[in-house]
């Protein structure tokens, strides 16, 4: 008994240390607010077709990139059914990509609510789809913030041109009416022979990731991303140990923001490389460059056709632009299970009333419970039977106290006789843990669930935490009820105590995790409670005090069977 108490106190101390460590080192931190540079006088803007008031206000914002000498900054606004794009003549790059629709709202329900804008310009940072040109010696001929002249525009495209030192660069950006794709056509002319490299740059403002494994969405800020030629994804965030990364072959490069992607794909048949940079410690600048070789004869020209993307990381949206872009969805270690879970939820979401993702998660829980029911039921029966034969096990320990080998042999015979698996109590948890981790991954990377509500006014986003902590508390209560109903050996009550401690710890942990995961675990616990109550009614309770049980020996000890009072 003394040893048992010591182990119990040690276990409680370990769990308390885990709780303290989590909230000290891993709890999500409030993201640092970037300093906004002072505004400069706004420049005239040009819009393609009629610009709504919100778009006009966005277009009138001053450029943060230092201006050149090619006249005032010009901005062109394109609006499709999916997004509003603002292209600036400073670098002939994207000034804003605002996703349209109620789903694409940041901080939904809060005072700072706004539409998702994939571009947040900061002074001195390159804008997405800007370009740099270097010669063979690495000398920069054209910078990312080079001032361009607006040549022409129509409803879906704009053409810009800049010239310096006998080199003329013409860029045409065209947006798609029915996707988040962006075409970038580049024409390079040179008075003298030119051999060098052209880089299409995607820049962003970044923060050091915080929150550890169980971070909320705010703990995963923007990162640079590159798909190497060997199909291996590389991501680089602010605060990385190695702030630069280069790959000799690349299939795309850009900025990854968990649920969203801004990326550029090289021209077909052109070998490209990539370079990722993260400048700064806590906050700083991110730069992803997709680099292609260029060679122009004297007085000649070269044309390059890039494909780009700026929108949500939805496989159905990424695939039509470029199949390789789908690899930006970071399924991680649990990819196989996570993709299966998402497929089931998509099917359920399509058939449930209101296409509610919360109901789809409940239906997923029912499906997983039905799938794992035989194994879980067998495990519960094993635990129930284990409790019934506990008096016999206790007597065996006394009878063969000096002979451990004989004691183990007789116990195994008893287990076999009653169909008991001593490891059966671990089976339900071992079955559910991979599903929990995979569902957590699904909620963290599947943009389909971004801002997906369950009950409006309570849970407006299943990928975020429960704002009122109702689900974590309810889940904790069901976990405690599960512990009350779950059989445990009468000689080891510390198992129950440890179960209560773990239930409390798990409830605290779920306070900051996605409410969709908490909903799944809560419904699963309710179903497990119902299953356990049914089992108790069909099998009956443990043996009552005073009931006579018989311990039978085997082999040479068969004569040692004795009638004992339980």
Q: Give the chain's mean pLDDT.
A: 81
- C-alpha–C-alpha distance, residues 231 and 357, integer Å: 32
Q: What does residue 204 show for φ and ψ, rounded to 5 degrees? A: -160, 165
CA distances from 291 to 129, 167, 248, 420 (A): 12, 18, 9, 64
pLDDT at 104 over 50: yes
Question: 451 CB contacts (<8 Å, ≥6 apart)?
Answer: 102, 103, 104, 105, 108, 460, 461, 463
Question: Is the pLDDT score of 544 beyond 70?
Answer: no
Per-residue confidence band for 233, with pLDDT thresholds at 50, 70 and 90: very high
From edge to edge, which strands make up the β-sheet containing 93-99?
75-79, 83-88, 93-99
Average pLDDT over residues 525-539: 83
- Look at residue 199 and tell me whether its pLDDT is greater than 80: yes
Strand partners, 252: 227
* Element holding 157 (H helix, E strand): strand 157-164
50-100: per-residue pLDDT in tens?
Answer: 334 333 333 333 333 343 445 789 999 999 999 999 999 999 999 999 999
Q: Which helix (H) or strand (E) holds 133?
A: strand 130-135
Distance CA 369, CA 528 (A): 9
Query: pLDDT tens for residues 38-52?
Result: 333 333 344 444 334
> What is the reported pLDDT for 315?
94
Q: Is the pLDDT of residue 28 over 80?
A: no
DSSP reduced 3-state for 290: strand
H or E element, residue 379 = helix 357-388
The predicted structure's pLDDT at residue 424: 56
C-alpha 169: how far from chain center: 39
Rounded to a whole number of angstroms, the CA Rg of the chain reads 31
Q: How far apart are CA 122 and CA 205, in angstroms?
A: 7
Percent of the chain with pLDDT over 90: 56
Q: What pLDDT score was predicted for residue 392?
A: 82
More confident residue, 523 or 221: 523
Burial zone of 353 (CB within 10 Å; 0-12 exposed, 13-18 middle, 19+ buried): exposed
Quote the tokens at residue 558: 């068969």
- Using DSSP bridges, classify how beta strands 105-106 and 93-99 pair: parallel, antiparallel or unpaired: unpaired
pLDDT higher than 70, residue 255: yes
Please tell me the predicted confidence (pLDDT) of residue 409. 86
Q: At what angle do helices 357-388 and 515-539 cross, to 10 degrees?
A: 40
Residue 27 has pLDDT above 60, yes or no: no
For residue 555, pLDDT beyond 60: no
Band the pLDDT of 210: cuts 50, 70, 90. Answer: low
Question: What are the tokens at 302?
Answer: 């070269």
Largest CA distance in the chain: 107
Q: Which of 509, 444, 467 is nearest to 313 (CA)?
A: 444
425-429 contacts at long range (C-beta below 8 A, 24 or more positions apart): 425/379, 425/382, 425/383, 425/386, 425/486, 427/375, 427/376, 427/378, 427/379, 428/376, 428/379, 428/380, 428/528
**Comparing C-alpha atoms, which of 36, 262, 301 is closest to residue 166?**
301
pLDDT at 8: 42
Q: How many CB atoms lie within 10 A of CB 156?
A: 16
Q: pLDDT tens across 123-151, in order?
A: 889 999 999 999 999 999 999 999 999 99
Query: Which among 70, 290, 256 is positioned nearest to 168, based on CA atoms?
Result: 70
Q: Which residue has the tokens 């630069």?
A: 244
CA distance 361 to 449: 11
Q: Give residue 493's pLDDT.
A: 58
Go through the chain and tell me how many residues it has. 566
Work out the average pLDDT over 26-36: 39
Q: Which of 2-6, 388-392, 526-530 has the highest mean pLDDT?
A: 526-530
| CATH fold of the domain at 122-329 | Beta-galactosidase; Chain A, domain 5 (2.70.98)
Residue 344 confidence (pLDDT) above 90: yes
234 is written with which tokens? 């590389």
Q: Which residue has the higher pLDDT, 425 or 64?
A: 425
CA 205/CA 199 separation, integer angstroms: 19
Q: What is the pLDDT of residues 263-301, one digit of tens each?
A: 999 999 999 999 999 999 889 999 999 999 999 999 999
Percentage, residues of the chain above pLDDT 70 = 76
178: how many CB neighbours lie within 10 A of its CB?
9
* Residues 355-408 pLDDT 10s: 999 999 999 999 999 988 887 777 777 777 777 777 888 788 888 887 888 888
Is the pLDDT at 31 greater than 80, yes or no?
A: no
pLDDT digits (tens, 9 = 90+) for 428-478: 667 788 999 999 999 999 999 999 999 999 999 999 999 999 999 999 999
pLDDT recorded at residue 16: 47
First to last CA, the chain: 20
Distance CA 536, CA 533 (A): 5
DSSP code for 51? P
The pLDDT of 486-496, averaged and rounded, is 57
Q: Is the pLDDT of residue 5 over 80?
A: no
pLDDT band at 349 (very low <50, low <70, confident <90, very high): very high
DSSP-derived pairing of the beta strands 130-135 and 140-142: antiparallel
Q: Where are the domains of the chain?
A: 122-329, 338-546
Instruction: Collect all residues with Cβ–Cβ distance below 8 Å to 196 and sequence separation of at least 6.
Output: 133, 134, 135, 136, 141, 293, 294
In sequence order, the β-bridge partners of residue 108 are none
């Amino acid at each position: 008994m003394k040893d048992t108490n010591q182990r119990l106190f040690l276990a409680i101390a370990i769990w308390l240390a885990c709780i303290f460590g989590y909230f000290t080192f891993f709890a999500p931190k409030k993201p640092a607010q970037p300093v906004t540079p002072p505004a400069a006088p706004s420049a005239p803007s040009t819009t393609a077709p009629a610009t709504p008031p919100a778009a006009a206000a966005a277009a009138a914002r001053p450029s943060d990139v230092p201006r050149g000498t090619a006249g005032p900054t010009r901005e062109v606004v394109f609006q499709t059914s999916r997004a509003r794009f603002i292209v600036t003549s400073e670098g002939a790059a994207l000034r804003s990509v605002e996703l349209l629709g109620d789903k694409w709202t940041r901080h939904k329900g809060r005072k700072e609510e706004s539409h998702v804008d994939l571009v947040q310009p900061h002074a001195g940072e390159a804008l997405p789809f800007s370009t740099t040109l270097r010669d063979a010696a690495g000398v920069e001929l054209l910078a990312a913030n080079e001032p361009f002249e607006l040549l022409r525009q129509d409803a879906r495209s704009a053409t810009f041109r800049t010239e310096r030192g006998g080199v003329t660069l013409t860029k045409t950006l065209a947006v798609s009416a029915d996707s988040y794709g962006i075409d970038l056509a580049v024409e390079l002319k040179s008075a003298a022979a030119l051999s060098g490299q052209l880089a299409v740059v995607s820049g962003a403002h970044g923060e050091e990731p915080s929150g550890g494994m169980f971070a909320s969405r705010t703990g995963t800020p923007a990162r640079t991303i590159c798909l190497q030629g060997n199909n291996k994804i590389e991501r680089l965030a602010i605060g990385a140990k190695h702030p630069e990364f280069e790959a000799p072959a690349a299939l795309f490069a850009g900025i990854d923001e968990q649920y969203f992607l801004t990326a550029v794909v090289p021209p077909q048949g052109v070998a490209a490389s990539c370079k990722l940079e993260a400048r700064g410690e806590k906050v700083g600048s991110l730069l992803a460059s997709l680099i292609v070789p260029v060679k122009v004869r004297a007085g000649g020209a070269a044309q390059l056709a890039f494909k780009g993307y700026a929108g949500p990381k939805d496989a159905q949206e990424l695939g039509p632009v470029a199949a390789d872009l789908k690899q930006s969805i970071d399924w991680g270690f649990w990819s196989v299970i996570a993709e299966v879970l998402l497929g089931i939820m998509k099917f359920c979401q399509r058939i449930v009333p209101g296409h509610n993702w919360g109901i789809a998660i409940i239906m997923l829980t029912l499906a997983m419970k039905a799938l794992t029911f035989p194994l879980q039921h067998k495990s519960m029966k094993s635990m129930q039977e284990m409790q019934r034969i506990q008096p016999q096990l206790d007597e065996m320990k006394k009878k063969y106290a000096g002979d451990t080998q004989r004691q183990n042999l007789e116990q195994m015979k008893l287990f076999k006789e009653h169909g008991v698996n001593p490891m059966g109590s671990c089976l339900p948890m071992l079955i559910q843990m991979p599903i929990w981790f995979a569902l957590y991954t699904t909620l963290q990377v599947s943009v389909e669930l971004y801002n997906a509500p369950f009950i409006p006014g309570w849970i407006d986003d299943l990928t975020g935490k429960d704002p009122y902590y109702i689900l974590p508390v309810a889940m904790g209560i069901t976990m405690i009820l599960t512990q009350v109903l779950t059989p445990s050996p009468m000689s080891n009550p510390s198992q129950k105590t440890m179960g209560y401690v773990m239930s409390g710890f798990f409830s605290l942990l779920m306070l900051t995790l996605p409410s969709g995961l908490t909903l799944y675990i809560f419904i699963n616990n309710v179903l497990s409670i119902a299953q356990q109550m049914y089992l108790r009614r069909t099998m009956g309770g443990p043996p009552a005090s005073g009931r006579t049980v018989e311990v039978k020996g085997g082999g040479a000890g068969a004569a040692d069977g004795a009638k004992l009072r339980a």
